[in-house]
Structures are given as C-alpha cells and as structure tokens.
Amino acid sequence: MEFSEYIKTANVEDVVLRQPLHPPGRGTLCITGHHLLFSDREEGSCQQVLLLLRNIDAIEKSVENLLTCSGLFSNAGLSQSGVCRLSGSSGTITIKCKDLRVLQLDIPGMEECLNIARSIETLSCLDSMSELYPFFYRPSNASLRDQWGLSSLERHYSQMKELHDRWRLSTVNRDFSVCPSYPQAVIVPKSTDDDMLEKVAKFRQGGRFPVLCYYHKKNGMVIMRSSQPLTGANRKRCREDEQLLQAVIDGSDKGYIIDTRSSQQALQARMTGGGLESKSCYSSWKRLQRQMERGKALQESLIKLVEACEDESNNMDRWLSKLENSKWLSHVQTALSTAGLLAECVERDGHSVLVHGSEGTDSTLLISTLAQLIMDPSCRTLEGFLTLLEREWVQAGHPFQQRCAHSAHSHARLQQESPVFLLLLDCVWQLWRQFPLALGFSEALLLRLATEAYASDYGTFLGNNQQERCALGVKENTHCLFQALLRPRERDCYSNPLYEHTELAIWPSVHPQSLQLWRGFFLRWTPQTHHLEEAQEEIRNMVIEWGKLALSSCPAST
C-alpha cells in the first residue's frame, strides 16, 4: 500500500500512553495506514487502544534530549542527522481528537517520536477520499451486498399515499445536472413540470429549488426548503419560482417563508447575486427573518467552548464568562426557538412554510429537522430518527466532508468547517432532556453520531452530497452506519428504555434556564460523566427487570 511511504517508524516499544479515565499504560505503539494502535503489555492487563487516525484533529509534539552533553542537538530541527538517537532522548506527542479526547504518548527515541508525529500529521488528513478507511473497513458480521441506507426518496414518496394527490416525484435531477447537491429524486408540487424545475433551479443558489421536506398529516400543511433566490441587485424575478410556490399554498390563504438570515443580511445578499422573496412578487407569502449563526462563526463558537471546558483554572467566574462568551448555548437557543416557530406555523397556525438561508445546506436543514422531531412522532423512534437524518442531512446534501474536516482543536486555517450537525445533535439532546420519554433513542446514539460524523469506519458521512458518493462508489464499497446502528446489539445500547410513543407535539422550552450545556459530549472525558453513565445503566436495568417480571407474570398457563 502506498501508505507505507508515510510511515517511517511503524512500531515503537516501551511507549507510555496517558488517556482520560484510565491509568497510564506502557506498551507497544503501532502506526498503520489508518490507525494508531497501542497495546499494553503490562502483566495482568491487556488494554488495547485502536484510534482511527482520521479522528485526530491536532497533535503537539515536544522532544527533549536528556543527555546534557548532546545539548548541541537538542534542537528538534537537527533530528535528521541521526546523532540524536541517543539512549536518553525521548519525545511526547499530545493527540487531540475530534471527539474531544486528549491522549498523550511518551515515546523513547526522538527520531521515532518525530517520525510518528509526521505520519500522524499526514495520514490523519489525507485528501484523497478513496483512500479513507471506510473503503477498507470490512467487518466480519456484514457484507457489502447488505442493504445500503434505510430508505430513499422514492420509497418515502411511495409510502406517503396522502401526498399523491398534489405532489409528485421528480427525477429531473437524475444525473445531478440540475442541482449537484440534491439527490436524484425530489418531491415537488404536481403542477410543476420538470422544465419549470430546471428554470427555478437556475434562479436558486446552487440549483436548490424548493422541494418538499415534510408533510404534516394532521392538516396537510408542508415544510419546503430551498436556497436563496438569485434576485441580485436588479431584483430579477422568476415566474416559474413564483408559480411553484403558489402551487404549494394552493387552496390556503398564505404561507410563511422563514429566512434564517437577518433582514440586513438578506438585503446585503443581493449585492452578491443572492436575495430574498419580495413582497410584491410573492404576495401570498409572509417572510420571517430569524438570524442564525452559521459557518465560521459557529466553528469559532465551538472552539471557544471546548477551550473553556479544558480550562483548568478552577475559577467559577472565568468559566461562566467563557461559557457565555463562546455563545454556543445562544446558538442552541436560537436553533430551537426558530424550529419552534417553524413548527408553530405549521401545526398551530396551519400554514405551509418555506425555509431557506443562503445555501440551504446548513441552518435550513437544522431547523427543518428539529421541527419534524417536534411535530412528527414517527421521527422520534430510533429508526425514524436515523431515517430523518439520512433524508434531511445525507441525501439533502449537507456537506459533511467540508463541515466536519476539522473540529475544535485543529490549528489548520478554517475553510469550510462548521459544526452545524453537532449543533443539531446538541439541540436534539436538549429535546431529550425535556422529554425523556418521548424519544426512542439514547444519549449514547447522539454521542456516537457526533463521533462518526467526524471520523468513521462507515461510508455514510463521506462526501458532500449524493453526486460525490455515487462517483466514489460509496454504496458499493463501504458499509452503512445507519444499518449498523440498527443491528440487535447496537439497538439495545442506542434505544431509550423509557421510550413511550406519544402522538403529541413536543414543544421545547427555550428559556435560558431550560437549556444546559451538553456535558455528555463536551465533558465526556471527565470522570464525572462516569457516575451519570452508571445512573443510565441503573435505569436500563430497572426497566429490564420490570419487563422480565411483567412478561413472566403474563399468564403462561393460559
């Protein structure tokens, strides 16, 4: 394999590994093309740590030469000379993972240390997607011929009989030429034909014309999503776009457009060719501007929050001020209240809503997903939630590859990174806290997803959209995470033992007092979470015991 050229030192003995929640261990360190493997060789324990290199966000290395006489060579830059391979030299690599774990390796031998550091640096951010681990991962309990994915838009449409009167499945995008970030099939009003769609696509950024994402069975209202209209400075119009939206509210008096930008941002977007739906052209639509943070600002918020969580000053004022200053919880609050507004428009006010920001691939998906969780009980089961994520994030074209390239520790210059998906998981966790019996999945699932989105054995989050995944042959050459999470053993761990189906909408409280820091994720590697995990375990056991007894007391003799 060509990875070997990046691996100068593959094995080092006598390495000390320090990791959270475990005592330090001494053993052998091994670097492969995709993994860092540490095996403890101490008597009585056989601790093994297998870390996906992709999970590594940043490393810090420090080398020192313990022999004073060789002080001349103590400069790391001289390590190439080979003279540094003195018995007393050693190095330390601090590994900061995308799942926020921090590991430390004490490696004897300066050269080995530097070699390993270099290998990690290179292999943890390989550019070529086809070299990523999912293409090599071959678990024994699954076959590449297994079903990939949980559903498709075609299946979704065929199951939703109530849609068939007014909505149709369009394959105008079958070769991804109309909208590169949309899946091949989309649901649109019946009265709009594919020619119209092509025209509308030209009027929307990235071709993301309005498509149906949720149908509210109780009143037939829908949530549509798209990107911003390309009105530009000279207020261009697109009749087809207007007709399409008119067709959406057919029979109703009005609809709402929730724009996830501030009015000012939306107006400014005209200067760069974007824009908003004007009142005069879309007279039946009422626009609501709700500013949501996106992109770089969100990434910086995450970085600040993680930095606050790692602050060891033990000072309450400093912690609270850093927590506030990170603004992360404000973003959670805004996301949940915008989603609440969206759901209220549909469920309470009884009108259809179009959601978009600028590109329609981030905050748009965030609030449409949350609104569906609030309103639709079928999204709240384990399968339902995963299917929702598959449809609204993977298939709808959230650019995972770009957004999750780096996490909070990376020193790399920010490009397209933004923790929108993480923000979604945090908001879902808040819902779960407020309605602990209403969601069919556990916190463990959210944590697993948060890890998998950044570094995974599976192909699910590879690429930025369906087009890229098709080109890479993700379906044919990798395994599907969502399928794996539904296998019996995983299902036990990721389902909520307290789950109880309810038809009611679950309206979250968005008061600051009601929202909490997601300790399970942000402080995951502190010892305190252990006690909380024990409590979850206790809950599971209580429910299991009760279930068993209930079962055994069901009249077996009858």
Partner 1 sequence: MEHIRLPKVDNVRLLDRISPRRSRVGTLYLTATHTIFVENEAGVRNETWVLHSLVCSLEKQAATASGSSLLIHCKNFQVLNFVIPRERECHDVHLSLQRLSQPERPDELYCFSYKPNIDAEERRPEWDFLDLRADYRRMGLPNSLWKLSSVNQHYKVSDTYPADLFVPESATPPVIVGSSKFRSRGRFPTLSYYSKENHAAICRSSQPLSGFSARCLEDEQMLEAILRSNPHSDFMYVVDTRPKLNAIANRAAGKGYENEDNYSNIKFQFIGIENIHVMRNSQQKMMEVCELRSPSMSDFLEGLESSGWLKHIKAVLDAGIFIAKAVAEEGVSVLVHCSDGWDRTTQVCSVACVLLDPHYRTLRGLMVLIEKDWISFGHKFSHRCNHLQGDPKEVSPVIDQFLECVWQLMEQFPCAFEFNARFLITIHSHIYSCQYGNFIGNNQRERTELGLREKTHSLWSYLWMNRADYINPLYRPDHSQTQGLLRPSTAPYCFKFWRALYNRFDRGMHPRQSVEDYLSAIQEETQQLKEQLASHKQKIAQLEQEQEWSVPQKAVPFDKSPTGWTFCNDMANTPQDYTGGFFTSSPCQPRAPITLQTEESNKTSKSILSNGSDQESGIADVSCRSPLSEDSTRDPDSDEAAYSAS
State which of positions 428-457 bind partner 1 (CB under 8 A). Answer: 433-438
Q: Does 515 bind partner 1 (CB under 8 A)?
A: yes
Residue 28 one-letter amino acid:
T
CB of 306 to partner 1, least distance (A): 12
Give SS3 for 59.
Answer: strand
Q: Does 218 bind partner 1 (CB under 8 A)?
A: no
Q: According to CB under 8 A, which one of 128, 141, 159, 557 is a site residue for partner 1?
A: 557
341-360: contacts with partner 1 (CB under 8 A): 341, 343-344, 348-349
Q: Does 535 bind partner 1 (CB under 8 A)?
A: yes
Compute how many other C-beta atoms are within 10 angstroms of the C-beta atom of residue 414.
14
Distances (CA, A) of 336 to 235, 263, 332, 426: 32, 20, 6, 10
Q: Does 513 bind partner 1 (CB under 8 A)?
A: yes
Q: Does 262 bind partner 1 (CB under 8 A)?
A: no
Q: Does 490 bind partner 1 (CB under 8 A)?
A: no
**Which C-beta is closer to partner 1: that of 39 or that of 536?**
536
Place of tokens 């299991």: 544
Selected range binding partner 1 among 180-188, 407-415, 416-424, 538-546, rule: CB under 8 A: 538-546
Q: Does 337 bind partner 1 (CB under 8 A)?
A: yes
265-294: contacts with partner 1 (CB under 8 A): 288
Question: Vertex 450, ends 446 and 452: CA angle to 5°?
Answer: 115
Give SS3 for 115.
Answer: helix
CB of 169 to partner 1, least distance (A): 32
CB of 410 to partner 1, least distance (A): 22
**Which C-beta is closer to partner 1: that of 169 or that of 539?**
539
Give the total of residues touching partner 1 (CB under 8 A): 72
Q: According to CB under 8 A, which one of 128, 140, 143, 553 is a site residue for partner 1?
A: 553
**Which C-beta is closer to partner 1: that of 127 or that of 317?**
317
**H or E stretch covering 257:** strand 255-259
The DSSP secondary-structure symbol of 555 reads -
Q: Give the x/- contact pattern for partner 1 in 297-336, rule: CB under 8 A.
A: ------------x----xxxxxxxx-xx--x-xx-xx---
394-433: contacts with partner 1 (CB under 8 A): 433
Do the strands 285-289 and 211-216 form a parallel or antiparallel pair, or are they unpaired? unpaired
Q: Does 552 bind partner 1 (CB under 8 A)?
A: yes
Do the strands 255-259 and 167-170 form a parallel or antiparallel pair, or are they unpaired? unpaired
Rounded-to-integer distance, Cα 227 and Cα 239, Å: 17
Q: Which residues have CB under 8 Å from 69's CB, separation 6+?
A: none
Q: Does 516 bind partner 1 (CB under 8 A)?
A: yes
Rounded-to-integer distance, Cα 154 and Cα 420, Å: 27
Distances (CA, A) of 106 to 31, 380, 422: 15, 45, 32
Q: Are 29 and 116 in contact (CB under 8 A)?
A: yes
CB of 345 to partner 1, least distance (A): 9
Q: Does 500 bind partner 1 (CB under 8 A)?
A: yes
Give SS3 for 193.
Answer: coil
